[in-house]
Amino acid sequence: MHIFVTGGAGFIGSQFIRDWAERFPEGHITNFDKLTYAGNLANLTAVEAHANYRFIRGDICDRNALLEAIPANVDAIVHFAAESDVDRSIAGAAEFVRTNVVGTQVLLDVARERGAKRFLHISTDEVGGTMGLGWFFEDSKLDPRSPYAASKTAAEQLVRAVGATFGMDYVITRTSNNYGPYQFPEKVLPLAICNALSGQPIPVYGDGLQIRDWVHVADNSKALQLALLQGKAGETYHIGGGTPQTNMEVLRTLLSMLYCHESLLKRVTDRLGHDRRYAVSYAKIERELGWHPEISFPTGLRSTIHWYRQNQEWVKAVRNGEYLNYYKAQYGLNLPAGQVV
């Protein structure tokens, strides 16, 4: 089986590639990634030497690059590539529309031309918008409220449109907040872990009572593999951790695991339009494909903290932008450094 993965140098994509390569050593994986500030080839050292793995640096908005990179009759496209940070989308939506919407459309066009047998599209619980009570189901109303969520909603709808119009085989997954190793420390949990480990303040948006659900990235990766191999064409599956809790609860648990005092928490002005509560139901994927999260939040959080402790070199390189120097030397890329944390 040959899979063509976009955005595989990012947090979730690299977990998926590492897991897939271990599970199917005979399979072929092409990882197509633009290497933005969020793409980090150090996440993939475990598979670099794999005979059937190849990395291609490229932009999903570049039709010619995709035509060259995607082999005819590729078995599946697994589409992770996206601009993924809500705060960045509030600061400027243009890159989000370009990558998440236009990029998805270009990729869909080329996937069809190349006769891809399946298109697995990775979406987010944020397309459902903020929830009062109750759960977000696969057929619930879409109500995106940030530029990031709006661009991801448009991307999903393009995938469905190509399925309906041209009969393309696709599966869409929507996942809640992922956490685990190799996550870029602009996102709340790795930022909090890295700051706590170095005794720096941890920013808390507003009152910290926003509710999020957390799923470990290794559990998500298993769900994605199932969706790819056994998901029903044209279906959407929610992947959640079943652990909705406030940001403040999460940060307090984290601090207690690190024996740090709560005085490290520093209230900052709330994010504009901050969604109050997300709550995906994963009942459908459990019922139809037999998946449920296996890693409890406390266990996953402890192992994530352990990973960041043990991988200070990775953290240091990400924080001081060393990996960007590597890209400059390797590809002549002058990337802007990611948010310095």
Ligand X SMILES: NC(=O)c1ccc[n+]([C@@H]2O[C@H](COP(=O)([O-])OP(=O)(O)OC[C@H]3O[C@@H](n4cnc5c(N)ncnc54)[C@H](O)[C@@H]3O)[C@@H](O)[C@H]2O)c1
Is 6 one of the binding residues for ligand X (CB under 6 A)?
yes
We find the least distance from the C-beta atom of residue 176 to ligand X, in angstroms, to be 7
For residue 42, give the nearest of 335, 333, 309, 313 by alpha carbon.
313
Q: Which of 85, 125, 156, 186 is catalytic?
A: 125
Longest dimension (CA), the chain: 57
Is 305 one of the binding residues for ligand X (CB under 6 A)?
no
Is 10 one of the binding residues for ligand X (CB under 6 A)?
yes
Q: Which of 46-54, 82-90, 197-205, 228-236 is the region at the interface with ligand X (rule: CB under 6 A)?
A: 82-90
We find the least distance from the C-beta atom of residue 85 to ligand X, in angstroms, to be 7
Q: Cα–chain-centroid distance for residue 277?
A: 19
Strand order in the sheet with 2-6: 53-57, 28-33, 2-6, 76-79, 118-124, 170-175, 235-239
Is 82 one of the binding residues for ligand X (CB under 6 A)?
yes
How many residues touch ligand X (CB under 6 A)? 30
Cα 125 from Cα 122, distance rounded (Å): 10
Which one of residues 61, 150, 226, 285 is an interface residue with ligand X (CB under 6 A)? Answer: 61
Buried b (16+ CB within 10 A) or exposed e, 325-336: ebbeeeeeeebe
Is 216 one of the binding residues for ligand X (CB under 6 A)?
no
Mask: binding to ligand X, 135-164, rule CB under 6 A, as x and -? -----------------x------------
CB 103 within 8 A of CB 60: yes
Q: Which of 59, 126, 156, 219 is catalytic?
A: 126
CB 248 within 8 A of CB 212: no
Cα 215 from Cα 25, distance rounded (Å): 26
- Clarify whether 327 is annotated catalytic: no
Is 212 one of the binding residues for ligand X (CB under 6 A)?
no
Q: Which of 37, 53, 59, 148 is catalytic?
A: 148
We find the least distance from the C-beta atom of residue 32 to ligand X, in angstroms, to be 6
CB 70 within 8 A of CB 4: yes
We find the least distance from the C-beta atom of residue 147 to ligand X, in angstroms, to be 12
CB 32 within 8 A of CB 106: no
> 201 Cβ partners below 8 Å, 6+ apart?
195, 264, 265, 266
For ligand X, the closer CB: 7 or 144? 7
Closest residue by beta carbon to ligand X: 10
The catalytic residue positions are: 125-126, 148
Question: For binding to ligand X (CB under 6 A), which residues are involved?
Answer: 6-7, 9-13, 33-36, 38-39, 59-61, 80-84, 99, 103, 122, 124, 152, 175, 177-178, 184
